[in-house]
Amino acid sequence: MAFVLRALAGGADGVFIGGCWLGECHYVTEGNYDALSMRHLTRKVLELIGINPGRLRLEWISGSEGMRYAEVMNDFGRQLKGFGPIGVGEGLDKETLKLKFQAVSKILPYLKLVERERLRVRFKTEEEYDNFYDSEEVNSLIRELVGEKLAISQITTLLEQNPLSTREISDSLHIKPAEVSRYLNSSARQGLVRYDEEMKRYAVA
């Protein structure tokens, strides 16, 4: 995930990952299964910060499938052109985009822990992985364990620049004011932020 985020944060409009077909990996670790699981989680994280998850693509292509590789890359290139430049296509300015990627990077160790402890599964088919990650149970788990943590990371990263009101945070991060208030209350209980009575703004604790 760190490599994908680094590429997108650096201005890449998309990231392509190619791997051997499932069940055909020459290594006992079968990393293509892990890559499939991580693709799903990374796409959900991108969606949570307002980035088109389609900017990350994973395809199975063997060394003998040169024509397929060319077709897939041409198709992905057309998709990315349709999405527009990263950030611009999502309606995010450069500073907001940079902040969102910084916020994700700060919680990468936590995301790896969630994946390993709560989402690590081993199925035989891609369809089973798709069904698992599309299930309400997993989506609820991600909203609960990742959504709030990521939102709080975005807020604290933003407040490191200067104190802001709830409305200003909402406008900057494109998060609803009611949700911002909930995250601020949670952050305050954790000792991450404080309310400055004099400035009438929230600041990093």
Average of per-residue pLDDT values in the chain:
93
DSSP structure class, residue 66: H
The pTM of the full predicted model, rounded to 2 decimals, is 0.90
Evaluate if residue 17 carries a pLDDT over 90: yes
d(CA 16, CA 87): 18
In the chain, where are the structural domains located? 2-161
3-state DSSP: the chain helix, strand, coil percent, rounded to 5?
60, 10, 30
164 forms beta bridges with: 202
Band (pLDDT 50/70/90 cuts) for residue 195 is: very high
Q: What is the pLDDT of residues 94-148, one digit of tens each?
A: 999 999 999 999 999 999 999 999 998 889 899 999 999 999 999 999 999 999 9
Buried b (16+ CB within 10 A) or exposed e, 163-202: bbebeebbebbebeeeebeebbebbeeeebbeeeeeeebb
Band (pLDDT 50/70/90 cuts) for residue 31 is: confident
Tokens coding 1: 């995930």
Separation in Å, CA 83 to CA 6, 88, 113: 19, 9, 31
Which range, of 23-37, 38-52, 99-113, 170-184, averages the lowest pLDDT?
23-37
Place of tokens 């891609």: 126
d(CA 33, CA 25): 9
Q: Is residue 157 exposed (0-12), middle (13-18) or buried (19+ Cβ within 10 Å)?
A: buried
Band (pLDDT 50/70/90 cuts) for residue 20 is: confident
d(CA 154, CA 157): 5
Residue 25 pLDDT:
76
3-state secondary structure of 148: helix
